[in-house]
Chains A and B, each alone.
Chain A
Amino acid sequence: MTRLGAVASNRIGRAGRFLWSSWSGLAAIFLFCAVWQIGHEAYGAFILPSPLAAVRAVIQLAGEEANWRTAMTTAERALEGFALAALAGTTAGVIAGYSAAAIRLARPLVTLILGVPPIAWIVLAMIWFGSTDGMVVTTVTIAAMPAAFIGAAEGIMTRDRGLDDMARAFGAGPWRRFSTLAVRHVAAHVFPALVLTLGTAFKVAVMAEVLSNSGGIGGGLARARSNLDVSEAMAWVLIAVAALIAVEYGFVRPIHSELERWREAARPWGVRR
């Protein structure tokens, strides 16, 4: 019972520290808003609406149910693409990590894919799929996959061979070595890559929507642009960023910090927070 209590209090303590650390995040956001306000005062409301005006526009947009659906459309497309990219990229990365030949073949391909600008993929996907969900999801998947792939491949390649030998000495076959050792090591490499992938997914989804006029936040942005409504455009940008932050801090980061619990323990006293 005491052990359970200790585990629970440890967990609550960590969650508390995580939430407490959001103060510094808020400070950074307000600092950014201050700079934004300076820009607004220097260039006027038409070029750069004030942060307050943008927030007001967000509130106004949030008042209409249809806009929620619009934002959800983008979030769904981005997350679908993200999930596909994460799954395919990680799986391919793990396979490539184990096979020296595969990684040699894959590296130039990854450079190639990374070298093609997402905008080019959008154009290609528009030709292949038309202005549909599939077009946005495909673009997001292709643009976001290389990061997950490289993260997973690096994770497998840099795994501790000493631990592998240890597991082999205790009778672990290839699958058990993968599931008990490599997965944990790969996760530490893949998560930072996934954060990057997630950001890419949202950006590319919005970009594809703007270009193909297929609804979602990008559609809203395109409309705001044609109406020359700068505060509404700003508001849509804020909404896209807020959606990304919500997914990253509500989902990806907590899992990562759970996996990296032992690193926390490694920090010397006094620099824990």
Chain B
Amino acid sequence: MHGRLKFAAWLAALYCAALGLIAATLVMVEVGMPAQDQAVVSRMFEERAPLLAFVGGLLLLACGGFVAWLFKRYVTAPRALAEQTRVVLANPGYRVEAAAAPELSALAAEINRLAGAYHGVQRDMEAKIAESGSRLEEERNRLAALMSDLSQGVLLCNAEGRILLYNEQARTLFSSAAAPIGLGRSVFGLLDREEIVHALDKLQYALDQGTEAPSTRFITALAARGLVRVQMAPFLAAGGRVGGFVLALEDVTRFVGQELQRRQLLQALSTGVRAPVANIRATVENMVSFPEMDPAQRQRFARIIAEESINLSKSIDQALSEYADAIKASMALEDMRAADLVTVAKRRIGALLRVDADDVDQNLWLRVDSFALVQSLGYLAWRLREEHAVDAVRLRARARETFAELDLVWSAAPLSSEVISLWESQPMQVAAEQTPLTLKDVLERHGGEMWYQRDEPSGASWFRFLLPLGEAAPQPSRRRLPAESRPEYYDFDLFQRAGTQREFDDQPLDELAYTVFDTETTGLEPSAGDEIISLGAVRIVNGRLLKHEVYEQLVNPQRPLNRESSRIHGIDARLLVSQPTLGAVLPEFHRFCEDTVLVAHNAAFDMRFLELKEAATGIRFEQPVLDTLLLSAVVHPSLQDHSLEAIAERLGVRVIGRHTALGDALLTGEILLKLFPLLAESGISTLKQAREASQRTYHARLRY
């Protein structure tokens, strides 16, 4: 608009100047001329007026054309060149183009040369930054690795309860919580607010009292799955205030259950045993105290004793069988795969003599104190070598009823029972390494047994350990990720931010949390019944695209797909039939978007689909919305193509995985991040400014 106005003004000025000049000439010629001459001149002009007007018009047209040509060549083109040059600032790989005038082409070439130099400098600088950043990154990765190797879940929160860091275990623990776990999200969505506030108060009090490293624990129920034990410790910000807190989380559902069982077992045993013993004792004492009682009475008492003895055995059996698990379970024992135990044992025994393992049940789990058990196996192997010159042993393990058999097998060298009982009761020793524990202690701790067995025909001897079976540990989804794609489970920069709850509008763009999303649909007309078939979203927190905090869901549109759209998104209609409907998906997606600004490319289109469902689902997306298409137009008003691909190419974003909702959402997110500095150059740095500029551009684009 601006350009056209300027052009019109130029032209008008030119015309006015030309006409004014001619008029002035005429006036000057006529002034001082005799009257008859004036009449002659007037006549001459009057007679030739059409011709003069024609030539004059032609002249003006030519002038206009020339001005237009000049304008295009030397005004519009330089402007486009300037915009392109600004792109170079954002993406040094970009090169400008100016076809119009040779002078401008030369300028463009110079700009490109400068751009090349700038690119080089930029690359050098980036390399240097990357180098110094890599050490920090390495440390962070080491921390992340450490966190992911902990068996406990860890959450690190700032004083407001926003999550700065979490590990995979915490994520698993909260996998069925009402709110999803995520950086910058509130911990109160996961754990009871009152409980945490209370714990924080206690910690603050302890700090005020001058306690050095206070921590507090509590056990709290998770909505969906049992009990979790939380250990909470503060860390201090400047001024001794609590700057945030660390939560170490442990799923204690099983332990608490076992503890309860053990208590019940003791209860059942003592109560069940007392009554029959009382009866027997009273009866026997009667018989002893009154030896003169008549035979019938005596007989009657004897029968009571027999009866009560049976009751006694029964109640013991019953208690033990009812609470068998409680007896087996011990906090000190861990569930371990037999194959893993054998591997560790092999390493230990291998230092003494030849050892191999065959016949190990791969699905067998033991409940063991692995250290003590491996020590025991090593001890036996050592004594076999020292005292019986055994030079090779074999390990095997398999299930037997409700126990596991672990055998240490060797050939020849039968053992006497004296030797075995000696080995069992002496403190275990391997070379100079001695422990106060005996084999008996270890067996007792496991509630297990061990004996010596020999197969005469084959000459094989073995020690057989009978050990409690363990439970297969749930396989955590712990795919080892290569370092560069390690999950972005931490964000310490969130520390720097106070008052995240502030009104969105006044916040700097690069500090806001965003949910960038995209939809795939059955067609382009939501009001004509087209439906969403796929939703994909990714979060941006503190200027980082969190590629591991994504949302991806196919949706059953409950209507057939047309072939054309199928070709774009490549989703098979048959796949969608088994998916949830949008009504079921939206509440979940709404929770994912909580507390963030929504972003989409051509957001109006996607928002329309969501808004049409408001009445049916009652789910309203009330947060502010940004549109990367409009933001791109704000930054580059003279460029025409604002498609996702064109912007990506301009800003140097690599395009992969297009036409899946998540793929496009990721691309849109990267573009948004690249747009921030460009917006800042145009003086747009807060959400409010971005929204207002978008609105102006939107109206402007509508007019064309």
Task: State whether these chains interact.
Answer: no
Binding site for B on A (CB under 8 A): none
